[in-house]
Structure 1
């Protein structure tokens, strides 16, 4: 595609998306210091991410700051070809003073070379001269999971919660100029070229007073175009493999009164997405659902904690338009459940299925984790047998079943983080064993398996350090020798 044709095509696509958005809070698009806030994934995912949206909204509260968005993928089908332009005004991306990345998981690290390379921005921070290139800032849950991975790439890293840090950081960079030295002493900010570790984080954000919410609502978001509001941050559970309890401490619930006030300020809503790592652990969940049901809101949530599904909660979910539920048994092995911190008594689980069906729900989706440290073939057999028993209970209840299987990826800081990824080849073998065991239920249970190769890549990205840039440069060299640009997502790593 020619440069002019690409520009016209991009302008048309962004204009259509902008026109479809409902914007409650507008932010300045230009200022003394201009920020391009990039979500390195599809537009629909970015507009479903409250972290990204909150950082965008907060940037607009700092006088003198202009901010625009950037998405390298507008339709979820294929990345945009360069050159790259901002979302709102189609300004060349390299013209901004700051290029800030909101990264929700480590897999998106691999998208950064494909954005920076065409802009002529060196991957390695040490190779970028101040004033010639934008200052690169990185934050988000993916960065918090492994900040060291980007320590040779980013000029500044915000590994924790953004609300207590971002406005102060922008104010400092506006005052002293966009350089790592200007912000190195700010709480919760890390200038890797200058310091070995981040400054101590400030107090956690007061979610009770100011929960995150979607000030821009796109019909393309993952919640059916509904507005989003955070109702809990962090998780009180003790699952040994989950990052939520590590990144967001302590767990903080949004009070019912705060939620009710937000609803009163947004009359006329039809749908709503309630955002929380563990919604069903909210201490006042029933009251939240009562408020939603009383306003006739259709909730765009399906993930539930099966052991919390009382008749009252099921009735409220049904009134809120929820028709399918997602549960996470994780495994059929009692021993693995114990080590995962995910206890499950089967008879109680099956009794819950009966209650679910009694209240009119007709579909259940079950999530399972494969490859947890110490997992044996007997544990895989236990999962298959558990699914057979579940299908046997579901059919006479009129429930249809789907089962999704993901690979265990060790996360730094979690109790299971010292475990070893089993490897893509072994994960494929285990998935195949489950498929084989589920053949008799082919017409009763719909199966979906994550990509073992992507799980392998994520496992490597979850533990790699500053040498990530070295690997990217090597991959670029290898692909250049083949006459093609690097994809950075198919490298063969020994993990």
Structure 2
């Protein structure tokens, strides 16, 4: 083992507080891996929560591993050292279970890399009785795990705080009785919220379309998504100065969203919206204060939290700075922007998503230009002068006129800022729309790359001489790879496995060509409403016709109002749908 790697991991652990460390092998062992760097992974609250849950489960210990940065990757390669965990510096192959926390499509390529570097056969079919069991959680695991099923044995469908305990109990019992790997999978396949991909056969017709998903060995026809009532803590477990957010203490104040934005997977997979009690959040803030940390408020729409003004006032009264994961222009308050300004924030980020009212109605955004102007007024009065606007192009039923509307909206925002004496900069963050599973747009195609490039040119030409208007555009190559991965099937997973041999995402094009994958079919073809979808086994709890109803509403440009107390229309909260 390289002394440099040992020293680096020891230094990293020494800078942390709140981690768990037990003598290796004194308990059952699990390693939780985030398929990105330490800085990115330690910014993920979900991974930290599962890390805590496993370490608090009787007889278990959990350690962490991440994709090494360039410097450490070179050390690993030069010294032929397997990927090691932080706590006890053990190779992944020494663990009984490896958990993958996957949140973003472009991290898929790091999954086989992590396993290979940890001396674990990356493909599930190649593992023996002595290899670790690979489980996967995170949003990817319950909106469309199929492109990663070649690598994983079990997927946690939904929120995993309770399900992980069910899994560990069953594993412990079966291993105590001398059971095999197959015995474990047989038992786990019957647990609500656990999806065992090998128990489902995917059949294709002569045109290469998925036509049947056949459960095997008594596996359920569908796997119900699990969700929590937020009774357990939702805050930073391991504190470190090295995260993508800086030295911040993260607190989840709410989970789920009831706004019904039709493009948003989180709004459908995490439904219903739930909030944590203000009393708990205040206590969590004080725990962050003892560590001298800035407070990071996490949730789908922070400004929608019912007692957000009181919470912000409390944070500031304790002399603490804070940051928000997201804000909505129609619910932002003077207290929020004042607190953000006092915390050193210099840019307000808003997400109209589209320029025209027509397109905002199609996607059910519910934001008006007046909402934007009011938010900018509040921010300017508080001393926040710069504005960032999130925009999508290539939305369903979009026309060139809707792109011109983005230009018009931005110019109106600029004129409004001038009128109120704000000389700050506008940043347009523009990304192509990517259809997501489990949303009303799951059947829709992604806009052709030529169309996207043409529409981006409209915006670029409009502002190429504007020094106060900046454009940030995600590389289109990555967007179109995400488009294939997002709604892909197991064949896409085979291409990911092939690409990993050729350097990961760098080998994507070569792998696609070698495998013969028709990426245009995944990107540009509309899927019939009766089509068998790769993720169809997973049950989000929605009424059977709810997504098709919302798709019809989108095409008509009809607005769906947010969830309300006692709402039963989508069936997630029980009862009969009422739309």
Query: What is the aligned counterpart of 2:417 among 394, 416, 422?
Result: 394
1:9-88 alignment, distance < 5 Å: 9-23=4-18, 26-28=20-22, 30=24, 31-74=26-69, 81=77, 83-88=82-87
Give the equivalent residue in structure 2 for 1:454: 478
1:263 aligns with 2:289: no
Which ranges of 4 or more aligned residues in structure 1 deviate by more than 6 Å?
75-80
Relative to 1, partners in 2 of residues 1:27 and 1:145: Cα closer, same or farther, differing over 3 Å?
A: farther
1:309-360 Cα distance to aligned partner (Å, 9 max, x none) = 3334333433444432111111212211111111333244224322321221
SS of 2:29's partner is strand
Spell out, residue by residue over 1:160-193, the C-alpha distance to the aligned partner (whole angstroms, 9 max, x if none): 1010201221122122135322422222111222
**Shift in CA distance, 488/254, structure 1 to aligned 2, threshold 3 Å:** farther
Call closer, same or farther: CA 1:120–1:75 in 2, change over 3 Å: closer
| Distance change >3 Å, CA 387–CA 277, structure 1 → 2 | same
Shift in alpha-carbon separation, 1:353–1:105, aligned structure 2, 3 A: same
1:388 shift after superposition: 1.8
Range 337-346 or range 448-457, more displaced: 337-346
- For residues 276-291 of structure 1, the aligned pairs below 5 Å read 276-291=299-314
Partner of 1:213: 235
Matched, 1:353 2:353: no
Secondary structure, aligned partner of 1:193: helix
With normalisation by structure 1, the TM-score equals 0.90
Check conservation: 1:354, 1:397, Cα contact below 8 A. no
Distance 2:257 2:71 in 1: 30
Is the Cα contact below 8 Å between 1:243 and 1:414 reproduced in 2? Answer: yes
Can you list the C-alpha shifts for 1:286-320, whole angstroms capped at 9, x where unaligned?
Answer: 12112211111100226321222333433343344
Q: Is the 8 A contact 1:27 1:59 kept in 2?
A: no
Cα 1:33/1:243, change in 2 over 3 Å: same
Segment of structure 1 superposing worse, 191-200 or 339-348: 191-200
Q: Which residue of 2 is the match for residue 465 of structure 1?
A: 489
Compared CA separation, residues 120 and 78, structure 1 to 2 (3 A) = closer
- Structure 1 position 438 matched with structure 2 position 463: yes
Give the match for residue 189 of structure 1.
Answer: 194
Aligned: 1:240 with 2:234: no
1:270 & 1:138 partners in 2: Cα distance? 31
SS in structure 2 at match of 1:217: coil
TM superposition shift of 1:247? 1.6
Check 1:90–1:151 CA distance in 2 against 1; reply closer, same or farther (3 A cut): same
Report the alpha carbon displacement of residue 41 of structure 1 after superposing the two structures with TM. 0.6
- Establish whether residue 253 from structure 1 lines up as the match of residue 298 from structure 2: no
Q: Describe the shift of the 1:29–1:43 C-alpha distance in structure 2 as closer, same or farther (beyond 3 A).
A: farther
Alpha-carbon distance between aligned partners in 2 of 1:69 and 1:456, rounded to the nearest angstrom: 31
Alignment of 1:17-416 (within 5 A): 17-23=12-18, 26-28=20-22, 30=24, 31-74=26-69, 81=77, 83-119=82-118, 121-131=120-130, 133-177=131-175, 179-194=184-199, 196=215, 200-201=223-224, 204-207=227-230, 209-268=231-290, 269-301=292-324, 303-395=326-418, 396-416=421-441
Name the CA distance, whole Å, in 2 between partners of 1:351 and 1:260: 29
Q: Distance in 2 between matches of 1:474 and 1:453?
A: 18
Is contact 1:241-1:410 (8 Å) kept? Answer: yes
Instruction: For 1:254 and 1:459, locate their aligned partners in 2 and report how far apart those are by CA, in whole Å.
Output: 34
Q: Residues 485 and 203 (structure 1 numbering): CA distance in 2 closer, same or farther, change over 3 Å?
A: closer
Give the whole-Å Cα distance in 2 for the aligned partners of 1:120 and 1:13.
Answer: 20
CA distance in 1, matches of 2:454, 2:225: 46
Alignment gaps of 5+ in structure 2: 176-180, 201-214, 513-518, 524-579
Which whole-Å CA distance do the structure 2 matches of 1:120 and 1:435 have between them? Answer: 47
1:284 deviates by: 1.5
